[in-house]
Amino acid sequence: MVTGSHEAIPDVLADRYASSGMQEIWSPQAKVLLEREFWIAVMRAQRELGLDIPLEAIQAYEDVKNRVDLASIRARERLTRHDVKARIDEFCALAGQQHIHKGLTSRDLTENVEQLQILRSLRLLRLKYAACLYRLSGRVAEYRRLAITGRTHNVPAQMTTLGKRLAMFGTEMIFAYRSLEDLLARYPLRGLKGSVGTQLDLLTLFGGDTAKVDALESRVADQLGFREVLGAVGQVYPRSLDMQVLGALCQLGSGPSSFAKTLRLMAGLDLATEGFREGQVGSSAMPHKVNSRSCERINGFQVVLGGYLHMAGALAGDQWSEGDVSCSVVRRVALPGGMFAADGMFETFLAVLVEMEIFPAIIDAERDRLLPFLATTTVLMEAVKRGAGRESAHAAIKEHALAAARALRGGQSRSDDLMTRLAGDPRIGLSSAELASLLAADERFVGAALVQADAFVAEVAGIVRDQPEAAKLAPGEVL
């Protein structure tokens, strides 16, 4: 028997990857406290609006609200088989009162508190994502001029700069960031709606006074920090909201994930590594290895987010009449799971942005070796400008490029052999000297790369101006 084997199995995403800030939002203890504060807020507002709830009763609840004993609550749940009833009973027993949850149904409590957890999580992620953009823009500025072999279909295509490549991932991130802002601006609270959404019990409590019930709902929404409250709902808020939230996380993850995949490819060409901390071990067997473990993890998180989106998606459009909780276990898994995974992804991404190493000497060597091939579109354009037919010149260049590549792959020639071949072909109509001067104009081969990189840096600066804390956020310690 193992020492300590009776401990609970920890949530692996929370435990290994998520920040303490995100853990705070979703810990079972924190949730119990959040619920109690919600109940107290409702009681206070109910009292202010005329219900007969003694101040001493409210104080009695206040006095015990921090005494969160999960084991005791669990024991009650075993009896009642109803989780909210168990938490009501526990809180009332501690306080020696029966004044909470008046006119409410379970979902008036849990839906609103969960939406609060979601809202806070999204705000935390927004900040962290802005921090990622900030660090990324630093790298873009650093490498704005470093010419590198651009690749499509994983083979050399044309030249670009490393700064522009990084800005490309950043451009996707900015779009996702703006989508998150749209969502945050509109994310609505379910509100206090009762069992089937008609507010019947609250209306009964307030003698049918609609204005008072509206006032109660507004006060609670304000206090939770929501600007919008849904109108006609049932027992639950529409589950497509959860799907949209998880979808937003997947969208946020897309740019970092493509970045990570590309860095893994660059590591395979020895152009870069994600960095290697003092003491780190690459492989227990192969001591020389520098594995892209953090980048692989980023890609893994994207898959995990996809799985949680799958779960949330299966609940959207599956509401029966005024509602049900076939969603209960699903949301217990997918909502915190998605938040932990996104949080872990951005933490990891931040760390990679800080620690990654670029090897300009290798990048230069690759580019010089491939330059004659990368320049073929420029040759094509120049030939067309001088009157060659586009399609015949294309055919001629392709013929020579393939022959040159074939010779290279057979180990029979060097890459500059291609220019010699092109110079001799009348279909193209460019002399050896003209071709040589084309190749020498190295800077122009990166086209608008610098302009784009700089525009990206400027746009991120605007985002950071709005969220100055983003510039200060450092990566936490990554396992």
For tokens 């000497």, the residue is 361
Restricting to residues 393-412, name those near a copy of itself by CB under 8 A. Answer: 394-395, 397-398, 401-402, 404-405, 408-411
Among 310, 386, 414, 465, contact with a copy of itself (rule: CB under 8 A): 310
> Are 128 and 346 a contacting pair, CB within 8 Å?
yes
> Are 148 and 159 a contacting pair, CB within 8 Å?
yes
460 binds a copy of itself (CB under 8 A): no
CB of 347: closest distance to a copy of itself in angstroms? Answer: 12
For tokens 């084997």, the residue is 5
75 binds a copy of itself (CB under 8 A): no
277 binds a copy of itself (CB under 8 A): yes
Among 111, 134, 256, 343, contact with a copy of itself (rule: CB under 8 A): 256
240 binds a copy of itself (CB under 8 A): yes
CB of 222: closest distance to a copy of itself in angstroms? Answer: 20
Q: How many residues bind a copy of itself (CB under 8 A)?
A: 221
Restricting to residues 163-192, name those near a copy of itself by CB under 8 A. Answer: 164-165, 167-168, 170-172, 175-176, 178-179, 182-183, 186, 188
- How are beta strands 272-273 and 228-229 bridged, if at all? unpaired
Among 56, 154, 211, 462, contact with a copy of itself (rule: CB under 8 A): 154
243 binds a copy of itself (CB under 8 A): yes
Q: Residue 231: which of 262, 260, 191 has the closest Cα?
A: 191
Site string for a copy of itself, 289-308 (x = CB under 8 A): xxxxx--xx-xxxxxx-xxx
50 binds a copy of itself (CB under 8 A): no
Among 21, 44, 49, 67, contact with a copy of itself (rule: CB under 8 A): 67
238 binds a copy of itself (CB under 8 A): yes
Listed in sequence order, the residues at least 6 apart from 467 whose beta carbon sits closer than 8 Å to its beta carbon are 126, 127, 130
8 binds a copy of itself (CB under 8 A): yes
227 binds a copy of itself (CB under 8 A): no
194 binds a copy of itself (CB under 8 A): yes
The H-or-E segment that residue 80 falls in is helix 70-80
- What is the C-alpha separation between 476 and 120, in angstroms, rounded? 19
- What is the C-alpha separation between 161 and 158, in angstroms, rounded? 10
> At 69, is the secondary structure helix, strand, or coil?
coil
> Are 370 and 405 a contacting pair, CB within 8 Å?
no
- What is the C-alpha separation between 372 and 356, in angstroms, rounded? 30
Stretch near a copy of itself under the rule CB under 8 A, chosen from 42-50, 98-106, 123-131, 468-476:
98-106
476 binds a copy of itself (CB under 8 A): no
Q: Residue 245: which of 128, 334, 350 has the closest Cα?
A: 334
CB of 212: closest distance to a copy of itself in angstroms? Answer: 12
- What is the C-alpha separation between 455 and 453, in angstroms, rounded? 5
Among 250, 419, 435, 470, contact with a copy of itself (rule: CB under 8 A): 250
Listed in sequence order, the residues at least 6 apart from 89 whose beta carbon sits closer than 8 Å to its beta carbon are 76, 80
**Interior/surface letters 353-389, b for 16+ CB within 10 angstroms, e for the rest:** beebebeeeebeebbebbbbbbbbebbbebbeeeebe
- What is the C-alpha separation between 375 and 164, in angstroms, rounded? 19
261 binds a copy of itself (CB under 8 A): yes
Cα atoms found within 13 Å of the Cα of residue 55, Cβ hemisphere only: 1
10 binds a copy of itself (CB under 8 A): yes
437 binds a copy of itself (CB under 8 A): no
- What is the C-alpha separation between 308 and 297, in angstroms, rounded? 16
> At 245, is the secondary structure helix, strand, or coil?
helix
314 binds a copy of itself (CB under 8 A): yes
Stretch near a copy of itself under the rule CB under 8 A, chosen from 37-45, 116-124, 194-202, 218-226:
194-202
Site string for a copy of itself, 345-374 (x = CB under 8 A): --------------x-xx--x-------x-
Restricting to residues 114-143, name those near a copy of itself by CB under 8 A. Answer: none
442 binds a copy of itself (CB under 8 A): no
